[in-house]
Structure 1
Amino acid sequence: MDQAAVTALLQTLVQGLLTGGLYALIGTGLSLIFGVMNIINFAHGDFLAIGMFITLALFRTFHLDPYISLLVAAPVGFALGFVIQRLVLSRLGDRLNEGSILATLGLGLIISNTLLLTFGAQPQSINVPYATSTFQLGGVQVSIPLLIAGLGTVAAIAGLNLLLYRTELGRAIRATAQNPLGAELQGVKTGHIQAIVFGLGVAFAAIAGVLLMPLLYAFPTVGENYTTKAFIVTVLGGLGNLPGAVVGGLVLGVIESLGAFYISNNYRDAYGLIAFLLVLLLRPEGLFGRTVKRV
């Protein structure tokens, strides 16, 4: 393999890993919700769209830098998720597993149509000087916004791990995920914990939306594709497995980049779906999931 081919491969891998970092951030929020509440949030991508449009609105109104918008979008996302869990999902009771599908699908439709009425159907972007900036590292061109997004992903996931394994709240979250009844017997208010977890999952989606905004156009239905990607990531890594979601996101990013470079960019999204189907066929529990034996 000549030097040009090696450089092209490295360029593709770096691009894939940085993109995969964002997928990992999106998938981590979905995986966290599933791990504790045992539901799939089908509005996950729509919450990402909310993060994008918050960034867009703050930039146009106050000329606020997109990354500073994180200070607004993350708390808004958490508060929105907390309220939705308390007012909608908590009322489903014993029908949570089945009812959450319709509930979150309905929420997604409400969010996308609200964004449509508020911002219009046309794709919109923000114009920041560094949007197309790159720097060279060993012959590889690295996108600065994509690198910032990757670093933001690392910071967010590291913060989540500190919360889960270094705080009393994290212990309560892990207890609720492992044994809700046992956690309640120990005095843990599992309903409150589930609301916090859903809020954290939505906050992660909103953060991902902010990090994507300098790179992409925002439009009301932009979240649909990212709901699919989040689901692929969680299945690749194993549903409810947070480290698996990180690896799944990186794997998806690399697969898409390699396929786009060596085959065709027109079918970029299809490569991840093919990997998704292969994992379902060969290892249904995911790369890092555990097989449950039924007797």
Structure 2
Amino acid sequence: MWVQLEVFLQTFISGVLLGGLYALIGLGMTLILGVMKIINLTHGQLMMVAMYVAYWLFTLFHIDPYVSLLIAPPLLFLLGMLLQKTLINPVLRVESILPHNQVILTVGIGMVLQNLATIFFTSDYKSTPVDYATDAWYLSDYWKDAPFELSLSYPWTVSFLLAVGITTALWFFLAKTDTGKSIRATAQDRDAAALMGVNVGLMRVITFGLGSALVGAAGCLFIPIYYLFPSLGSQFTLIAFVITILGGLGSTMGAILGGLILGIFESMTATYVGMGWAPVGRFAIFVAALVFLPGGVASLLKRKAVSK
């Protein structure tokens, strides 16, 4: 019994740690969707770019991947603003037979970034062999009579705590600053925000940059515990999309809960079904959300708020 409980708790903890990083990835896509009303399908490729920035900073200058949080996300913020202003904005203004041509554009941008990474860095797998990669905290070190042994991976825990800190900073920015309030107003009603004096075009540019910075930060948090290759971005674009659907389109709180749910579900699937079944579990929860909860977790939160 204790062994089964230990396995369950260890799996649950691993799922929460993974879900915290997933939530950060989903927040970037959700923020862009809420303001611009488009699905950014180059999201994972932007994360891949940030991971390469962190990798080369570590390889060439021995800068710790966590320290690269001070470098890579600002670079991704500028890259996101550049992509939005020079490529996406012109397409948004053009009348087209295809109503979602801007989504197709983001797919093209992602393909360009992936192929450029393959040309410049080859398709070989890369990693950052940090000294603390295999370090862990053990429950027995703090509770001598613990009935079971639980461990927390050092890099996973640090990455999770940093993700929580970044998410908290994002909430403060959106709730307390004038720019953040303008972004929220643009997301709620673009025309009304424009009538109130909000520069809607500038908010779109800043939002795309901010979403890119968030996924760039996630890339820096993943690189100490994950391998890197050019096509990695496609996997994380899918993860971000699943979180966005699961959480509810445009809902930041839904994205956080969706990331945690997906992380725990994948961890449970890998432990009790098999490692190779984790992507299948991801697809299953995506289909289940579309069929049984089309409004995502956000719809449940709204119902609960209304019932009160």
What is the TM-score normalised by the length of structure 2? 0.92
1:272 aligns with 2:282: yes
Task: Give, as a single letter, the amino acid of the residue that structure 2 aligns with 1:107.
Answer: I
Would the aligned equivalents of 1:40 and 1:101 in 2 still touch at CA under 8 Å?
yes
Paired with 1:102 and 1:266, the residues of 2 have a C-alpha distance of 30
1:90-105 to structure 2, matched below 5 A, reads: 90-92=89-91, 93=93, 95=95, 98-105=100-107
Tell me how far apart the structure 2 counterparts of residues 128 and 259 of structure 1 sit (CA, whole Å): 29
> For 2:151, which of 120, 128, 141 is the aligned residue?
141
Alpha-carbon distance in structure 2 between the residues aligned to 1:109 and 1:229: 17
What stretches of structure 1 move > 4 A for 4+ residues in a row? 94-97
- Post-superposition offset of 1:201: 0.4
8 A contact 1:237–1:287 mirrored in 2:
yes
Residue 222 of structure 1 corresponds to: 232
Asked whether the equivalents of residues 239 and 289 of structure 1 are also in contact (C-alpha less than 8 Å), the reply is no
What aligned pairs does 1:108-119 form with structure 2 within 5 A after superposition?
Answer: 108-119=110-121
For 2:24 and 2:95, how far apart are their aligned partners in 1?
29
Q: Secondary structure at the match of 1:40?
A: coil
Q: CA RMSD in A?
A: 1.3
Is the 1:55–1:69 Cα contact (8 Å) retained in structure 2?
yes
**Secondary structure class of the residue paired with 1:135:** strand
CA distance in 2, matches of 1:161, 1:41: 21
Whole-angstrom CA distance in 2 between matches of 1:212 and 1:289: 30
Distance 1:11 1:94 in 2: 52
Unaligned runs of 5+ in 1: none
Q: C-alpha displacement at 1:150, in angstroms?
A: 0.6
1:154 to 147, 161, 164: 164
Look up the match of 2:202.
Answer: 192
Q: Which residue number in structure 2 is paired with residue 255 of structure 1?
A: 265
SS at match of 2:138: strand
Pairing 1:1-295 to 2, within 5 Å after superposition? 2-92=1-91, 93=93, 95=95, 98-137=100-139, 139-289=149-299
Amino acid at match of 1:227: T
State the shift of 1:95 in Å. 4.8
1:177-219 superposed Cα distances (whole Å, 9 cap, x missing partner): 1111111111111000000000010011111111000111110
**1:129 Cα deviation after fit:** 0.6
**In 1, Cα distance between equivalents of 2:180 and 2:42:** 25
* C-alpha contact (below 8 Å) 1:47/1:206 kept by paired residues: yes
Note if contact 1:35-1:239 (Cα within 8 Å) is conserved in structure 2.
yes
Could you tell me whether the CA contact under 8 Å between 1:124 and 1:219 is conserved in 2?
yes
Aligned length: 290
Q: Which amino acid aligns with 2:208?
A: F
Structure 1 residues 27 and 95: CA distance shift in structure 2, 3 A? farther
Distance 2:299 2:80 in 1: 26
SS at match of 2:299: coil
CA distance in 1, matches of 2:250, 2:94: 20
Aligned amino acid, residue 289 of structure 2: V
Distance 2:274 2:173 in 1: 41
> CA–CA distance in 2 between the matches of 1:150 and 1:194?
28
User: Counterpart amino acid of 2:71?
Assistant: V
Q: In the aligned structure 1, how far is the partner of 2:299 from the partner of 2:158?
A: 30
Residue 264 of structure 2 aligns to a residue whose secondary structure is helix
Q: Unaligned stretches of 5+ in structure 2?
A: 140-145, 303-308
Question: Which letter does structure 2 place at the counterpart of 1:8?
Answer: V
Provide the C-alpha distance between the structure 2 equivalents of 1:95 and 1:227, rounded to a whole number of angstroms.
Answer: 27
Q: Please tell me whether the aligned partners of residues 27 and 246 of structure 1 are also in contact (alpha carbons under 8 angstroms).
A: yes
Q: Aligned equivalents of 1:289 and 1:111: distance in 2?
A: 35
Q: Deviations over 1:45-67 (max 9, x none)?
A: 00110111001111111111111
Which amino acid in 2 is paired with 1:241?
Answer: S
Given residue 288 of structure 2, which amino acid in structure 1 is its aligned partner?
L
Report the Cα distance in structure 1 between the residues aligned to 2:54 and 2:298, rounded to whole angstroms.
34
| Normalised TM-score (structure 1) | 0.96
